[in-house]
Structure 1
Amino acid sequence: MNTLNGLIPCIISGGSGTRLWPVSRQNMPKPFMRMRDGMSLLQKTFQRAARLPGVESVLTVTNRDLLFRTLDDYRVVNKAHLPLDLLLEPFGRNTAAAIAVAALHVQEHFGDQAQLLVMPADHLISDETAFAAAVTQARELAEAGYLVTFGIQPDHAETGFGYIEKGDALGTGYRVKRFVEKPDLATAQGYLDGGKHLWNAGMFCFKASTLVDELAAHANEVLAAAKAALEHSQNLQNKTSRQRELSAEGFGAAPDISIDVALMEKSKQVAVVPCDIGWSDIGSWEALRQLTPSDPQGNQVNGEAILHDVHNCYIDSPKRVLGAVGVRDLIIVDTPDALLIADAHRSQDVRYIVAELKRQDHPAYSLHRTVTRPWGTYTVLEESSRFKIKRIVVKPQASLSLQMHHHRSEHWVVVSGAAQITNGEREFLINANESTYIPAGHKHRLTNPGIIDLVMIEVQSGEYLGEDDIVRFDDIYGRAPAADVKK
């Protein structure tokens, strides 16, 4: 995988987007949120990276549990069939560790002089021409040995972003005098009036060797853990992608710290390129609503809503009709299993709801009612203490693991498509309007041998219906043995 001009876009796809609950959740985080055009933030980021001049491969750092969803998103937009590099984290360790393993990987495969362009997967940039120009400017400074960050020209006093103070001019940019944490409103207004401060966009450009050398000088603990995680990684390479599953032991030794705190605030080799690129970090529902046209009453509505005397509300209810009377300044987000109602001026506080759900170990913290798996999706339609009904969709040529349950039996009814069934010692094919019964204790497997989606209804019954009642014997996605993931 050669790169014509030594530029490797590196997409950092992590975090759970807690302030965008209930759409963003731990197992379907913010990068996979769909915008109004139907594309996810991750897809938009990939396209933006792929369109830069000379790019011939894209590197992504993400959680290993999100691998197949990431590949599904990329498959739709990777029209040029760019080779994909994927570094798979066993768990989150913030941006310092993620960027360190990316730099070491690029240094190993592309050389010391290769440049990384680090891009968060969950930001929007509307002016790609200005973005490409800013990247060109950043690359000049990176070639000169700087760690380059991108500073957004502020257009209002914002307390939700960190700031970068410009120092001496450096041709296409400036030295960074200092990084500033999120200020209060009066301080933010002073920054706006003074003209020396930029919003910190969390994007970077640097040579692989520069980043590694600066980590060795200022954050060697991060670098050592990244090296150990890569040294003991498990590698898989095929015609379209190279995947490295990072060692949990090595990666777990990395401090949970941002790249700003670990390195950028300490290094003397940091520069900033000011830019006006139509940037938004989509950090809250209030930020998202600013991208949506309003009706004459100041409301933004996604879905079918009947409103009477409603003003300045953001309403997202794509699945069912929503009615509202006599309210104002609210954020209302409706999903099949969770409803958010918030004061529009306190959208940042949604994270407290998520923290409480996490403390309770509530499933709405991590999962939607429809759950994505490598083979397709399942949706819980109804459940009680002794039965559960699911709608299962299996992609063409996909297969669930060969597995067994101790405490439940399952009835499978095919709605459309055809199903290849393994049930104990028997193997057979069933079509639409046909069914089969899987007793508890039987090894079984479901495969879609066709060219269209297989849709079926699964009815589980038994004394225990938890997702951890599963024993895997074989799995084409490399998940056997495992006891914590459904099918």
Structure 2
Amino acid sequence: MITPVILCGGSGTRLWPMSRAMYPKQFHRLVGEGTLLEETIRRLEGVGRVGQPIAICNQEFRFLTAEQFRRQGVEGFKLLLEPEGRNTAPAIAAAARYVLDNGMARLLLVLPSDHVIKDPARFAEAVEIARDAAENGGFVTFGVVPDGPETGFGYIKASRGTGRVLPVERFVEEPDEETARRFLDEGGYYWNSGIFLFDAVGYLDALEQFAPEIAAHASDASRRARVAMESVFLEKESFDSCPADSIDYAVMEHTDRAMVVPLDAGWCDVGSWKGVWQVSSRDADGNVAIGDVRLLDVTNSCVIAEDRLVVASSLDNVAIIDTRDATYVASLDAAQEIRDVVIGLKAENRSEVEHHPRVYRPWGSFESIDNGEGFQVKRLIINPGAEISLQFHHHRSEHWIVVRGVARVQRGDAVIELSSNESTYIPAGLSHKLSNPGNLPLEVVEVQTGTYLGEDDIVRLEDKYGRVEE
């Protein structure tokens, strides 16, 4: 049996403004019917002898990740929650220790959550090819068969030989274009996909040899973890003590048991808007157009409208990405420059770098409609059967107006029900809770007034999602 370990970290800044620190690309529908994470989960259906998956993510993404697993009908999954990202080697080490301590299948299939693989059957076949080698102590990585001189990926040089599993000669950092072309001409070089298959015991043993601090601290973080429902909160002090190293640097570049299976399955890391354009369905003019888009004499471009009409004309090879609060326009080839844009915005403390207009919570989502000095207006969507925690605020009052659905409202000790076009007032300091007893989403407009309207002015008294102690 295999335990899938899905890595849900990363901020995907090269796909700004859709992908942001608090709502990164793996949670977006960019290619295909589901989000990138959901497509990763579906991909496992074709792999034989697979057990319940583990996802590793930041604590901020706990409920968003869990919701996407549930939407795919997955039960029994576990979320290993990092107090702070420490790169892939510590994350996988914590997962390996958790698997061994909880009697799960010890063969680990490590998968990034934000990649596209257009041929899942070919991927499943590659995993089967790698299985025997991994069961016999090999650290197997999957090398993507290159189709061009790509300078944005690391490369794996395979030793010459026959067979479908080849020893790794060396790992190569991202090359310049001349070097990448030479790799193609020589052959035997593959793009590093970041996908691995190996034994959990073998991985921890290798860490003890090559990176003992990671092995010790990550194991301690797992064994001292706090568990709430499917969530495993890695112990902060131990995990934060791990050196922030990648699995390539910590293990793969040092072990003499590294092996590579060539992967030719339509892989893309979706690391730029050009990457999105390349793996998406295009119209007769070579355009990817998503949302309310009108194009005239536009070719070979990617245009995405999230909330409103976008019109473009007389353009070629451009990305136009329009969200509610930010618009990005650039050449499709400007994959690296967007990082500089995001760095500049972050230096200015622009909220658009961190936060998406729509913020997800375990009960649903909210988005800010308007705000000014002393007030803020939000639209709340509460999922059927969900509820906002019993809470109060020190500095703000709230007016709730039901737009659609039925709301059950607790105000102090009183409980009332409100229908469409009815409202209630919650003064500062009064305990309150909002729940949706219906079978359809509940939509509420919330008007906040007060001297301070920050999200940290919430004192939770009771919470069905286990957030009171956090």
Query: What are the residue-to-residue correspondences of 1:204-283 with 2, within 5 Å?
Result: 204-237=196-229, 242-283=230-271
In the alignment, the residues of structure 1 paired with residue 356 and residue 459 of structure 2 have an alpha-carbon distance, to the nearest angstrom, of 24
In the alignment, the residues of structure 2 paired with residue 210 and residue 169 of structure 1 have an alpha-carbon distance, to the nearest angstrom, of 25
Q: Is 1:127 aligned to 2:119, yes or no?
A: yes
CA change 1:37–1:299 in 2 (3 A) is closer
Q: Is 1:191 aligned to 2:183, yes or no?
A: yes
User: Can you list the C-alpha shifts for 1:377-433, whole angstroms capped at 9, x where unaligned?
Assistant: 111111111211111111122111222222221111111222121223422222221
In the alignment, the residues of structure 2 paired with residue 76 and residue 311 of structure 1 have an alpha-carbon distance, to the nearest angstrom, of 36
In the alignment, the residues of structure 1 paired with residue 316 and residue 267 of structure 2 have an alpha-carbon distance, to the nearest angstrom, of 28
User: Can you list the C-alpha shifts for 1:140-196, whole angstroms capped at 9, x where unaligned?
Assistant: 111221111000111111000000001154743111111000000000000011112
Q: Is the 8 A contact 1:411 1:460 kept in 2?
A: yes
Q: Is 1:13 aligned to 2:5, yes or no?
A: no
Partner of 1:106: 99
Partner of 1:3: none
> How many residues in Structure 1 have an aligned counterpart in Structure 2?
470
In the alignment, the residues of structure 1 paired with residue 107 and residue 31 of structure 2 have an alpha-carbon distance, to the nearest angstrom, of 33
Q: Is the 8 A contact 1:471 1:481 kept in 2?
A: no
In the alignment, the residues of structure 2 paired with residue 470 and residue 443 of structure 1 have an alpha-carbon distance, to the nearest angstrom, of 10
User: Can you list the C-alpha shifts for 1:77-117, whole angstroms capped at 9, x where unaligned?
Assistant: 12xx4421221111211101111111111222236x72111
Partner of 1:162: 154
Query: What are the residue-to-residue correspondences of 1:17-416 with 2, within 5 Å?
Result: 17-78=12-73, 81-110=74-103, 114-169=106-161, 171-237=163-229, 242-416=230-404
- Quick one: which amino acid aligns to residue 402 of structure 1? L
| 467-476 or 264-273: bigger deviation | 467-476
- Quick one: which amino acid aligns to residue 342 of structure 1? A
TM-score, reference length from structure 1: 0.93
In the alignment, the residues of structure 2 paired with residue 208 and residue 328 of structure 1 have an alpha-carbon distance, to the nearest angstrom, of 49
Q: Is the 8 A contact 2:20 2:356 kept in 1?
A: yes
TM-score, reference length from structure 2: 0.96
Q: Is 1:480 aligned to 2:468, yes or no?
A: yes
- Quick one: which amino acid aligns to residue 189 of structure 2? H
Q: Is the 8 A contact 2:140 2:260 kept in 1?
A: yes
In the alignment, the residues of structure 2 paired with residue 420 and residue 301 of structure 1 have an alpha-carbon distance, to the nearest angstrom, of 41
SS of the counterpart of 1:327? strand
| 342-351 or 129-138: bigger deviation | 342-351
SS of the counterpart of 1:396? coil
SS of the counterpart of 2:384? coil
CA RMSD of aligned residues (A): 1.7
Query: What are the residue-to-residue correspondences of 1:418-429 with 2, within 5 Å?
Result: 418-429=406-417
Q: Is the 8 A contact 2:141 2:261 kept in 1?
A: yes
Q: CA deviation at 1:232?
A: 1.1
In the alignment, the residues of structure 2 paired with residue 478 and residue 180 of structure 1 have an alpha-carbon distance, to the nearest angstrom, of 45
How high is the sequence identity, in percent, across the aligned residues? Answer: 42
Q: CA deviation at 1:282?
A: 0.5
In the alignment, the residues of structure 1 paired with residue 396 and residue 343 of structure 2 have an alpha-carbon distance, to the nearest angstrom, of 32
User: Can you list the C-alpha shifts for 1:299-341, whole angstroms capped at 9, x where unaligned?
Assistant: 3222233334433332111422212233333211001111111
Q: Is the 8 A contact 2:400 2:424 kept in 1?
A: yes
Structure 1 runs not aligned, ≥5 long: 1-5, 483-487
- Quick one: which amino acid aligns to residue 19 of structure 1? R
